[in-house]
Structure formats: C-alpha cells, structure tokens
C-alpha cells in the first residue's frame, strides 16, 4: 500500500486544487491512503477536506498540534499503513503519473528516496507574479538546485522535494528532525546519504509548486529559509546538512555590512561595499534584462524579485547567526 502524507495549515486557497490533483492520479485508489496532517487550521481548510472525505473514505484528517511540517510528517508516518511513504505539499499540483512513476523508480534505481523536478507557477498571473515565478525558476535566483532548474534524465542528487521512500528507510535512518521548522527534507536526505543511501531524481514525471505571489510573502518565506539555514547547522552540528548554495545570499549581505562597519574607522573600506553592491546590481540587472527580452516579462518586476529574494534570504541568515547565543539546542 502507498501512504501519501500532506502537511497542511490554513490551506483553503490551495487544498482543493491539491486534492483534485491527487484524485487524477493513475495509481489505484484501493491500494493507497491519503493522510492530511493539519496544524489545527483556522480557516476553511478542514471544512473543504470534510467534503472530500464524504466522497472518498481513503482520505484521513490527522491533527498536528505542533503545527510544523516535520511533526506533521512524523504523525503521518506513525499512522500510515503502507509499506511505501510519499510526501506531498498542499501548494503543489502533480502530473497524473506522479505516484506511479515514483513508486516504480524505487525499484528501478534501488533508491532510498525518489523525487521529480518541481516546476514553479502562480495561481494568479500578472506582470509581477510572472516575474516572481521566473526568478524562482532561474539559476541566478535559486542556484544550481537540480529539482528546480530541470534535468534530462534520472540522476543521483543531494535532495529532492516531496520524496517517496520505503517505510524501512525511517527505521534505518530515523524520522524527521522535529527541531527544524525548515530544511527538514534536506536534512533527512543528507542523513540518508551520509549513511550510504541513495537519492534519485527522475524525469518521467514532475510537479508544479504554486509560489507566493506578493513581495511581502516572498520576503517572509525566504527570510525564514535563510534563518533556518543557520539554525539547521546549529541543531544538527553538521555543516553538511546543507549545501554551499544555501549560504551565498548570506555572503552577499556580509560583503555589504562588514566593509561598511570597517569604513566607519577606515574610509577606504566603503569601496568594498560599494563594489559588491554595484556588482550585484549589474549582474541582477543583466539577467533581468535578458529575461525581459527573451520571455516578454517586466524588467523592473524581475529586478525587484531578485533583490527581494536574495536580500531577505541573506538577512535571515544574518539574524540566524546573531540569534545563536540565545538559542538552546
């Protein structure tokens, strides 16, 4: 049996589309269960789910009072009856062969975890949201993240989104780390690799992640990502829990702040900050201009999206560093 786990919290905007995507899967419904682990939603999420449960008894709603994703996953794994576990996200839509392709790939590649490319889209399409979508799919925006920029064929990777495991993987490598509000999937996959396991991404199917559509939401999400990059390393005591690309925005912020502080006592140091800022604006401006011309997108929205993404991410990492003396393991 396949047990599909979806951590959710206040997902009234997305949950119906996610459930419809699951219902369209070609995987036999009599050999699967859907476990929706809810962080006690305060909107209409639970009401919407109840409507689906009336029609499809294999959909279950589980409570996750801790309200964070790793706790939701552990609740789901412990309740699951299947010998294969799959994680999904309520903010995503899935090709109708997503389940069957990932389950098949577990055997074909002898992998401990299998995932697929995750495209980025937005629900409401306008000049700003299309720019945000493009930035979150671009190497300059998200680095060399394989599952975001695409692949030509199956390959081993460091991590995948919305993975698919055999149950014994959790017995061997452990459950989700409940200290991690973010990066819990990356940390688990890194743990599997350090233990000799294999993570594979396939090109036979894909999913589409529905991104945040405002600069505030984009900044809030990526500030948290940057913050938890630092806290993930702190809690796990493993720099290898993440990759170098996760810290590039932080290094950019440092290149602005440290020379500026030194410049208060030695004026020439200001030149380093000015150079770093100009180099970044030139690079982001060049990439934005190329995308604007090649894809017909708004240059200014593209540039603003890159800046919001990188600055909020890097600032979050800086706050994470500064918070360490006050953080308990």
Q: Which domains are delineated in the chain? A: 2-213 (3.90.550.10), 239-326 (no CATH)
pTM (two decimals): 0.87
Give the pLDDT score at 316. 95
DSSP per residue over 122-148, as a string? Answer: -SS-SHHHHHHHHHTTSHHHHTT-HHH
Give the pLDDT score at 27. 95
Give the pLDDT score at 154. 85
- Lookup: tokens for 169: 């993987």
Give the pLDDT score at 199. 94
Give the pLDDT score at 295. 95
Give the pLDDT score at 146. 67
Taking 50 as the pLDDT cut, the residues of the chain under it are none
149, containing H or E segment: helix 146-149
Give the pLDDT score at 162. 85
First and final C-alpha spacing in the chain: 37
């Amino acid at each position: 049996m396949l047990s599909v786990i979806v951590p959710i919290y206040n997902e009234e905007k997305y949950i119906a589309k996610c459930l419809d995507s699951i219902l369209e899967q070609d995987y036999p419904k009599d050999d699967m269960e859907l476990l929706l682990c809810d962080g006690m939603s305060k909107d209409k999420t639970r009401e919407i789910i109840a409507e689906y449960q009336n029609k499809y008894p294999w959909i279950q709603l589980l409570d996750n009072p801790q309200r964070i994703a790793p706790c939701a996953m552990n609740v789901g794994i412990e309740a699951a009856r299947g010998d294969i576990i799959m994680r999904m996200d309520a903010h995503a839509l899935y090709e109708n062969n997503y389940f069957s392709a990932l389950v098949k790939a577990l055997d074909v590649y002898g992998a401990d975890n299998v995932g697929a490319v995750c495209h980025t889209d937005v629900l409401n399409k306008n000049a700003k949201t299309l720019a945000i979508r493009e930035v979150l799919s671009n190497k300059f925006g998200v680095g060399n993240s394989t599952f975001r920029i695409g692949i030509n064929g199956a390959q081993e990777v460091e991590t995948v989104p919305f993975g698919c495991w055999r149950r014994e993987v959790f017995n061997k490598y452990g459950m989700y780390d409940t200290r991690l509000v973010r990066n819990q999937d990356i940390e688990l996959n890194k743990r599997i690799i350090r233990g000799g396991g294999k993570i594979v991404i396939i090109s036979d199917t894909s999913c589409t992640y529905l991104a945040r559509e405002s600069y505030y939401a984009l900044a809030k999400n990526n500030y948290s990502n940057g913050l938890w990059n630092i806290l993930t390393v702190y809690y796990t005591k493993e720099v290898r829990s993440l990759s170098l690309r996760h810290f590039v925005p932080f290094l950019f912020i440092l290149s602005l702040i440290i020379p500026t502080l030194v410049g208060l006592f030695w004026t020439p140091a200001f030149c380093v900050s000015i150079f770093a800022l100009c180099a970044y604006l030139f690079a982001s401006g060049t990439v934005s201009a190329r995308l604007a011309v090649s894809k017909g997108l708004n240059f200014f929205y593209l540039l603003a999206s890159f800046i919001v993404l990188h600055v909020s991410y890097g600032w979050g990492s800086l706050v994470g560093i500064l918070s360490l003396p006050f953080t308990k393991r």
